[in-house]
Amino acid sequence: MTRWGRFQGYSIASLRKDMISGTIVGVIAIPLGMAFAIASGVKPEYGIYTTIVAGILISLFGGSKFQIGGPTGAFIPVLFAIAMEYGYENLLIAGMMAGVILVVMGALRLGVLIKFIPKPVTVGFTAGIAVIIFTGQIANFLGLEGIKRHESFVDNMKEIGLHISTMNLYSVLTALICLAVVILGLRYAPKIPGSLVGLLAAALIAALFFSGKVTTIGSAYGDIPNTLPSFHFPVITWEVIRELIRPAFIIAMLGAIESLLSAVVADGMSGSRHDSNRELIGQGIANIAAPLFGGIPATGAIARTATNIRSGAASPLSGVIHGVVVFVILLLFAPYASSIPLAAMAPILMVVAWNMSERREFLHLLKLKTGDSLVLFITFLLTVFADLTLAVEAGLVLAVILFVKRMGEAHRVAKVLPDPLSVKVGAHMVTESRDCPQIGIYNVEGPLFFGAAYRFESTMPELGPDRAKIILLRMGKVPFMDTTGESNLSGLVKQLQEDGGRLLIAGIQPQPLGLLKKTGLYESIGAAQFFDHTGEAITAALGSISRERCSGCRHAAFRECGALAGQEETAGRSVFTGLPAAAVRNSPL
C-alpha cells in the first residue's frame, strides 16, 4: 500500500472519528510530553514542541496507519545522560544524527533486523528503564529540596537519602491526590484521560489550599511560552559528529525498537499491517525536524497509539490532529501550565514506569533459570547501574554467545551401522564385536559451523594404517555449513587422501553442497562420491574395500560380511541390504 493509499475510502465519517481520537490523544499527550522532558533533564516546553512537530511528521511519513509519535519514557535515561554530559544543544544534534541513521536504515530496508533482538534483552532494558524512571520521581513526589541529579543510579539514591529530612508534606499530599485519581480512573473510567484529570485535580487543590507551598513548573523552570520557538539550525562540525556518533546511534536503535514494537501492537489491535522500513524513514524525518524547533528525540508511543485505536481512529490523520490539538492548547493555555506542581507530575511518570516494566514477563523469564534468564538479569542490572548502551551491547553479546553454544550442542556426530532387521542405520548397532574396520559410517546432525567445529573434530576417527580407509558421512540433517565447517571437512578429506582413503557423502542438503562447490572442495572430493541415498553409498563403499582384510573378519558389520569373509560373491544383490540394487536406489536411506 502506498503512503496515501492509507486514506483510501476516506469519508466525512472517517474524519469525524479522526477528530475525536486525535483530540483525546492530544489532551493525553500534553502532561506526558512535559513530564518526559523534565525527567530527561530539559525544560517542559521542549516535550510539547516534540509532541507537535514529531507527532505530525511521524503520522504523515511513517509506515503505521495509527502510530502516535512523541517523547517517550524509554528515552528518559538516555537523553538525561546525553544532556548531562554534552549539553542541550548537543542533545539536539545527537537527535538529528539519530534521525539520519533511521532514514538510512529504512532506505537500506533494515527494518526487519530490529526484530532479531532477543526478547530477554528488550525486556531487561525496558524493566531497567522503568526502575530508573520510577526512582527518578521519588524526589519530586516527596518534595525534597536541594536535590542534584546524577547519571549514576546509586548516586541518585544517595542524594535522596541525604535530603530525606527536607520532605514536604504538601508535596506528598499533592502527589497522592494525583496518584489516587489516576489509579481510580484507570480502574473505573479507562476511557477518561486519568493522567490529565489527576494533574488538573492536584494542581487545583494545591492552588486553592496551599498555594506557594509546593514547587511548580514555573518556579523550577520558568514560564512556558505559548508559541513554538523560531527555526534554529545548530552548528554542526565533524568534531561534534565524531563525539556524538555513539549516543546518536543508541538513540536511533532505541527509537527503532520502540517505534516498531508500537507498530506491531497497533497491527494486533487494528488488524492493519505496518511497513517497518517506511516507519523507520518516518521516524528519521521526524527526528531530523523536531530539533530544529527545540524538540527532543521522539519515537512511537505504545500507550498513546493504543489509545488512538481504542478511540476509533480511522487513518494517520488522527496523529496529525493530535499534534494540532497540542499546538492549539499551547497557544491558549501555556501560562496556566506553569502553575502545575512538580509533585503532581511525579505519579504520572511512576504509573508510566509501572506499566512499561513488563514485570510479569520479567518474572516469568527469570523463573525459567535458563541462559535467557541470565541475559535478562545482566541486561537489567547494567541498565540500572551502568548505562543503556553498555546494557544492550552486553545483552546482545551474551545472547549471541549462548545461541552459538546451544547450536553447537545441537550438533551431533555418531558412528552407525545398518540394522539388518529394519533396513536402517543406528548407533545402537555399533559395538566392540560389531564394527567394520574398513568402513566408518557417521550420522552428522545439526549445523556444521564454527560453534560446532570442536564436536565434529573430536568425533571424527583418527586415521592411520590400521584405521578405516573409507568414511561415509550421512549429512541429510545438516541444514547449514559455514567456512569453518567446510575447513574441518577439507581437513578430513586431505587426511583420507594422504592415507589412500576415500570420503563418501550421502544426502547432503543444498546449502552445504553449494558452499562445497564454491570453495572447490566438491571437485576435490569428486562428484562420484556424493550420493542421494545411504544404501547407494554403502554399496559403493563395500565395492572398493580390501577383500584380503575381510578374510577371517568376525565383526559381521553388514549382512554380507560372512560371504565377503569367505570370498563369496552375492551376484546382483546389494551387499548393504541383500535387496536388489533397484530397491536400494529407491530406499529413503
pLDDT at 535 (0 to 100): 87
Q: Evaluate if residue 75 carries a pLDDT over 90.
A: yes
Q: Evaluate if residue 568 carries a pLDDT over 70.
A: no
CB atoms within 10 A of CB 389: 18
Q: Evaluate if residue 490 carries a pLDDT over 50.
A: yes
Specify the range with the lowest mean pLDDT, choosing from 42-51, 195-204, 525-534, 535-544: 535-544
Across residues 181-193, what is the average pLDDT?
88
**pLDDT, tens digit, 9 for 90 and up, residues 15-52:** 999 999 999 999 999 999 999 999 999 999 999 999 99
Specify the range with the lowest mean pLDDT, choosing from 52-66, 475-489, 543-557: 543-557
Grid cell digits, residue 583: 530397491
pLDDT class for 158, splitting at 50, 70, 90?
A: very high
DSSP code of residue 90? H
pLDDT at 489 (0 to 100): 93
Across residues 249-262, what is the average pLDDT?
92
Q: Evaluate if residue 581 carries a pLDDT over 60.
A: no
Which of 284-293, 355-364, 404-413 shows the highest mean pLDDT?
284-293
Longest dimension (CA), the chain: 111
pLDDT at 564 (0 to 100): 65
CA–CA separation, 462 and 317 (whole Å): 71
pLDDT at 563 (0 to 100): 66
**pLDDT, tens digit, 9 for 90 and up, residues 315-344:** 999 999 999 999 999 999 988 889 999 999
Residues of the chain with pLDDT > 70, as a percent, come to 92
Which pairs from 194-198 meet CB under 8 Å and 24+ separation?
195/28, 195/31, 195/32, 195/348, 195/351, 196/27, 196/28, 196/30, 196/31, 198/344, 198/347, 198/348
pLDDT at 584 (0 to 100): 42
Q: Where are the alpha helices (DSSP H) in 451-482?
A: 453-459
The CA-to-CA distance between both ends of the chain, in Å, stands at: 48
pLDDT at 344 (0 to 100): 95
Across residues 88-112, what is the average pLDDT?
95
Specify the range with the lowest mean pLDDT, choosing from 121-125, 264-268, 303-307, 565-569: 565-569
For residues 102 and 256, the answer to whether their CB atoms sit within 8 Å is yes
Q: Evaluate if residue 589 carries a pLDDT over 60.
A: no
Residue 304 Cα distances to 66, 263, 284, angstroms: 10, 12, 19
Specify the range with the lowest mean pLDDT, choosing from 145-149, 193-197, 452-456: 452-456
Q: Evaluate if residue 54 carries a pLDDT over 80.
A: yes
Q: Evaluate if residue 246 carries a pLDDT over 60.
A: yes
pLDDT at 281 (0 to 100): 97
pLDDT class for 3, splitting at 50, 70, 90?
A: low
Grid cell digits, residue 20: 475525536
Across residues 542-566, what is the average pLDDT?
74
The secondary structure of 407-455 as a DSSP string is HHHH-EEEEEEEETTTTEEEGGG--SSS--SSEEEEEEES-BSTTTHHH
Specify the range with the lowest mean pLDDT, choosing from 31-35, 179-183, 467-471: 467-471
Across residues 345-369, what is the average pLDDT?
92
Grid cell digits, residue 136: 527518578
More reliable by pLDDT, 388 or 246: 246
The secondary structure of 198-262 as a DSSP string is HHHHHHHHHHHHSTTSS-BHHHHH-PPPSSPPPP-PPP--HHHHHHHHHHHHHHHHHHHHHHHHH
CA atoms within 13 A on the CB side of 114: 24
pLDDT at 339 (0 to 100): 92
Q: Evaluate if residue 272 carries a pLDDT over 70.
A: yes
For residues 138 and 393, the answer to whether their CB atoms sit within 8 Å is no
Across residues 430-452, what is the average pLDDT?
87
Across residues 248-276, what is the average pLDDT?
91
pLDDT at 112 (0 to 100): 83
pLDDT at 117 (0 to 100): 85
pLDDT class for 389, splitting at 50, 70, 90?
A: confident
pLDDT at 423 (0 to 100): 64
pLDDT at 434 (0 to 100): 80
Q: Evaluate if residue 567 carries a pLDDT over 60.
A: no
pLDDT at 586 (0 to 100): 43
Q: Evaluate if residue 512 carries a pLDDT over 50.
A: yes
Q: Evaluate if residue 65 carries a pLDDT over 90.
A: yes
pLDDT at 415 (0 to 100): 87
The mean of the pLDDT values for the chain is 88
Q: Evaluate if residue 574 carries a pLDDT over 70.
A: no
Across residues 181-199, what is the average pLDDT?
88
More reliable by pLDDT, 273 or 566: 273
Q: Evaluate if residue 427 carries a pLDDT over 80.
A: no
Domains of the chain as residue ranges with CATH: 19-399 (no CATH), 411-585 (3.30.750.24)
pLDDT at 588 (0 to 100): 42
Across residues 85-105, what is the average pLDDT?
96
CA–CA separation, 463 and 466 (whole Å): 8
pLDDT at 575 (0 to 100): 42
Specify the range with the lowest mean pLDDT, choosing from 77-86, 500-509, 547-556: 547-556
The CA R_g of the chain, rounded to the nearest whole Å, is: 34
pLDDT at 554 (0 to 100): 74
Across residues 465-485, what is the average pLDDT?
89
CB atoms within 10 A of CB 332: 10
